[in-house]
């Protein structure tokens, strides 16, 4: 009789994990914890774009406009996705780009951190570094972005719901979902 158990030792990550989701979903917060658990580096795409440009995201938007920011984002994402396995927090708009999305689908595992409007509005409130939320009613903007982006985020390999829970609860849920997707346990550090 065939023994169906997987007796191989838990594996380390051989692919980059890309966290997608709207502003305030917790991509950086959960990403750092996931990276620590999986013993791989955590990389924040927004930080890498800022380093490459020598400007903050808000400055890039103000000086060159959103289309230039998106060009830079596409280039930086392509570079990061070619690098060694890591946990990569993508900016909220990155997965909306056809090229970037195709690259992610080709070689990485994507996790959508899905949050409701109250969670997103609460977590982004009073913070001024996100240019898209600095004009008009941020809650309304987030609602419009949810409508437009959620059907596309739903193409991610794995969806994890996140809300007011302790980040460790969401991180554990993400790890479990990842293991289900990969079909085998991952080596994690306690």
Q: Least separation, in Å, of the C-beta of 157 and ligand S3P?
A: 19
In angstroms, the first-to-last Cα distance of the chain is 35
In this chain, which stretch among 30-38, 74-82, 90-98, 176-184 interacts with ligand S3P, using CB under 6 A? 90-98
Q: Quick check: 20 and 110 in contact, CB under 8 A?
A: yes
Q: Quick check: 170 and 162 in contact, CB under 8 A?
A: yes
Q: Does residue 101 interact with ligand S3P by CB under 6 A?
A: no
In this chain, which stretch among 10-18, 86-94, 113-121, 179-187 interacts with ligand S3P, using CB under 6 A? 86-94
Strand, coil or helix: 162:
coil
Phi then psi for 15, rounded to 5 degrees? -140, 155
Interface with ligand S3P (CB under 6 A), residue from 13, 33, 46, 81: 46
- Site size toward ligand S3P (CB under 6 A) is 10
Distance, CA of 76 to CA of 81 (rounded, Å): 9
Choice between 77 and 186, CB closer to ligand S3P = 77
Binding region for ligand S3P (CB under 6 A) = 23, 27, 46, 57, 91-93, 130-132
């Amino acid at each position: 009789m065939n023994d169906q158990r997987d007796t191989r030792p838990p594996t380390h990550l051989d692919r980059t994990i890309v966290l997608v989701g709207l502003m305030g979903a917790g991509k950086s917060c959960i990403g750092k914890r996931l990276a620590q658990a999986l013993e791989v580096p955590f990389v924040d795409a927004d930080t890498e774009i800022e380093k490459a440009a020598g400007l903050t995201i808000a400055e890039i938007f103000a000086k060159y406009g959103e289309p230039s920011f998106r060009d830079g984002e596409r280039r930086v994402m392509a570079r990061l996705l070619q690098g060694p396995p890591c946990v990569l927090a993508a900016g909220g708009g990155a997965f909306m780009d056809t090229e970037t999305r195709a690259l992610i689908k080709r070689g990485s595992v994507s996790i959508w951190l899905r949050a409701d409007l109250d969670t997103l509005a609460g977590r982004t409130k009073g913070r001024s570094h996100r240019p898209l939320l600095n004009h008009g009613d941020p809650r309304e903007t987030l609602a419009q972005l949810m409508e437009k982006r959620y059907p596309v985020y739903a193409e991610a390999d794995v969806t994890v719901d996140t809300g007011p829970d302790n980040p460790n609860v969401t991180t554990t849920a993400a790890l479990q979902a990842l293991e289900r997707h990969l079909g085998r346990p991952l080596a994690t550090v306690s």
